[in-house]
Amino acid sequence: MQREPFTALAAVYDAIMADVEYDHWADFVLSYARDGGLTHPGTALDLACGTGGFTRELQEAGWAITGLDFSEAMLAEARHRLPGVPFVQGDLRSFALPKRFDLVTCVFDSLNNLLTPSDLGAALTQARAHLWPGGLFAFDVNTRLGVQELWEGDAIEGLAPMPGGAEVHYHWSHHFEPDSGLGVVQALCRVEGDEFIETHRERGYDPADLEPLLKAAGFARWEIVEYPDYAPPAADAPRVWVFAWAPSGAGA
């Protein structure tokens, strides 16, 4: 019944996440990119793309999009959803593609799955290496407070319809480990009597944690904001968005 993260979950992920506002997130990112002078649309790489929910929004906005994820099970769902999009299996910390992009994205607190600052720094460095000069990396992360207080009541539960008439019953519980600083989610899902559990762990990152890592990764400048108004993050913000620009010009 216990499964590795993002394996069994792939088959029911889109049903459970049907209300995620990928379209609004895409508008948020693309508006910032456009206002910052980024060519629109251009080429884009969606990191930790999962089943392709955000990838699809970028594709529909006209971007020539590539998706990358560590989980082959999630990628199988993405390829079914978006058969014309190239999807690549890879590790955020070490992937190497034979091209660069105008825009790189990584959304839905995916980078929080990297549990050490060194791993996060490696991922930021790889994202930077895959940007054209003057390109933009846009991502969100849960803060330390956000990981500590993930959901009100520390649980979510519900029923979600699936294609073919089945339903998935999900019960996800959360607790915070003070000693490790990690938030732990036990994701139980049941479909027609078959059930599984995946355990997911996240580390929260505050703006003060992110800024030295962005500098070390070689970004020229960045802005850390809240969604949806691009305001500077409040001290108790549970999640922040980061827009980081690669250096422009020769040698970038």
Please indicate, yes or no, whether residues 185 and 213 belong to a single structural domain of this protein: no
Give me the CATH number covering residue 102. 3.40.50.150
Mean pLDDT of 174-201: 97
Sequence-ordered alpha helix ranges (H) in 82-116: none
Tokens of residue 196, six digits = 């599984």
Number of Cβ atoms within 10 Å of the Cβ of 24: 12
Return mean pLDDT, the chain.
96
Please indicate, yes or no, whether residues 198 and 103 belong to a single structural domain of this protein: no
Residue with tokens 């959803």: 81
Spatial separation of the C-alpha atoms in residues 185 and 243, rounded to whole Å? 27
Question: Which pLDDT score, from 0 to 100, does residue 39 have?
Answer: 82
Mean pLDDT of 151-177: 95
Tell me whether residue 13 is in a domain.
Answer: no
Please indicate, yes or no, whether residues 48 and 88 belong to a single structural domain of this protein: yes
Tell me whether residue 252 is in a domain.
Answer: no
Q: What percent of the chain has pLDDT over 70?
A: 99
Please indicate, yes or no, whether residues 61 and 132 belong to a single structural domain of this protein: yes
**Residues 72-92: tens digit of each pLDDT:** 999 999 999 999 999 999 999
Number of Cβ atoms within 10 Å of the Cβ of 180: 11
Mean pLDDT of 221-230: 98
Please indicate, yes or no, whether residues 101 and 224 belong to a single structural domain of this protein: yes
Mean pLDDT of 196-215: 98
**Residues 110-120: tens digit of each pLDDT:** 999 999 999 99
Please indicate, yes or no, whether residues 85 and 115 belong to a single structural domain of this protein: yes
With 60 as the cut, is the pLDDT of residue 69 above it?
yes
Sequence-ordered alpha helix ranges (H) in 19-112: 22-35, 53-60, 72-81
Please indicate, yes or no, whether residues 96 and 54 belong to a single structural domain of this protein: yes
Please indicate, yes or no, whether residues 138 and 152 belong to a single structural domain of this protein: no
Spatial CB neighbours of 215, under 8 Å, sequence gap ≥ 6 = none
State the total domains in the chain. Answer: 2
Spatial separation of the C-alpha atoms in residues 245 and 57, rounded to whole Å? 21
Question: Which pLDDT score, from 0 to 100, does residue 242 have?
Answer: 99
Tell me whether residue 251 is in a domain.
Answer: no
What backbone torsions phi and psi does residue 10 show, to the nearest 5 degrees? -55, -40
Spatial separation of the C-alpha atoms in residues 42 and 34, rounded to whole Å? 11
Range of the domain at 58: 19-144+205-245
Please indicate, yes or no, whether residues 114 and 136 belong to a single structural domain of this protein: yes
pLDDT category at 249 given cuts 50, 70, 90 is: confident
Residue with tokens 């209300």: 19
With 80 as the cut, is the pLDDT of residue 122 above it?
yes
Question: Which pLDDT score, from 0 to 100, does residue 252 have?
Answer: 53
Tell me whether residue 47 is in a domain.
Answer: yes
Tell me whether residue 9 is in a domain.
Answer: no
Q: What is the DSSP letter of 165?
A: S
Please indicate, yes or no, whether residues 122 and 188 belong to a single structural domain of this protein: no
With 70 as the cut, is the pLDDT of residue 251 above it?
no
* For helices 207-217 and 117-129, angle between their N-to-C axes, nearest 10 degrees: 50
Would you say the C-alpha torsion 99, 104, 107, 111 has a positive or negative sign? positive
Please indicate, yes or no, whether residues 58 and 113 belong to a single structural domain of this protein: yes
**Residues 17-54: tens digit of each pLDDT:** 999 999 999 999 999 999 999 988 999 999 999 999 99
Question: Which pLDDT score, from 0 to 100, does residue 40 have?
Answer: 84
Question: Which pLDDT score, from 0 to 100, does residue 1 have?
Answer: 87
What's the predicted TM-score (pTM) here?
0.97
Q: What is the DSSP letter of 76?
A: H
Tell me whether residue 24 is in a domain.
Answer: yes
Question: Which pLDDT score, from 0 to 100, does residue 234 have?
Answer: 98
Question: Which pLDDT score, from 0 to 100, does residue 193 have?
Answer: 86
